[in-house]
């Protein structure tokens, strides 16, 4: 898989974390870089870890789905992307922010990191069925999510919630596009 495609997948996956980071930053009275970095480490770390778990699970299933792997990849990316689009259109930013004024508390941050990285698990399965080595995607996904999370906190502290749902919508569209590309290449 080309590095550009991996980077686009990383962008798509990181949009949930980016949206939550914007919302968290918007709740800050004063931008504290340590909180932005902490959020980046949690979100980037979990976004990097989940595809590895999915990839390991997918390796075990690969022999069973070899003939339809492109359909599996398309289906998983469509589900993940569709879910992101649905949530963006539903405008559920308040639900994601339902953490009071403490989004940087370790326990809450842990829950947010897991919640925003579940989609990456399915993408890890996709990588395994497409026989993509997991190392480069994990590094790109983790670093992209880290950078966007730190930037999101800063953007949120400066400008509020304007971009929040739009970024999640964009991420969903990117994943749908990549899923469609994979399907069309194998038909």
Q: What is the pLDDT of residue 47?
A: 96
Indicate the average pLDDT of the chain. 82
Do 168 and 83 form a contact (C-beta atoms < 8 A)? no
Enter the tokens of residue 187: 């038909």
pLDDT at 111 over 90: no
Tens digit of each residue's pLDDT (9 = 90 or more) over 158-167:
875 566 567 6
Label residue 148 by pLDDT band (50, 70, 90).
very high
Q: What is the pLDDT of residue 9?
A: 93
Do 162 and 4 form a contact (C-beta atoms < 8 A)? no
**What is the model's pTM?**
0.74
Q: Quote the Cα angle for 88-93-98, to 5°.
A: 145
CB within 8 Å of 107: residues ≥ 6 apart? none
């Amino acid at each position: 898989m080309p590095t550009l495609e991996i980077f686009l997948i990383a962008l798509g996956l990181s949009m949930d974390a980016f949206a939550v980071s914007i919302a968290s930053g918007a709740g800050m009275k004063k931008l504290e870089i340590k909180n932005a970095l902490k959020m980046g480490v949690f979100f980037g770390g979990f976004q990097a870890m989940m595809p590895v778990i999915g990839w390991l699970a997918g390796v075990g299933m690969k022999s069973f789905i070899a003939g339809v792997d492109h359909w599996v990849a398309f289906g998983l990316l469509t589900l993940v992307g569709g879910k992101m689009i649905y949530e963006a259109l539903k405008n559920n930013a308040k639900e994601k922010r339902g953490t009071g004024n403490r989004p940087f508390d370790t326990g809450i941050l842990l829950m947010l990191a897991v919640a925003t990285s579940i989609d990456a698990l399915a993408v890890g399965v996709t990588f395994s069925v497409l026989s993509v080595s997991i190392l480069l995607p994990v590094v790109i996904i983790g670093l992209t999510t880290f950078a966007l999370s730190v930037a999101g906190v800063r953007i949120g502290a400066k400008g509020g919630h304007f971009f929040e749902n739009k970024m999640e919508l964009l991420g969903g569209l990117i994943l749908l596009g990549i899923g469609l590309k994979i399907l069309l290449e194998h038909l």
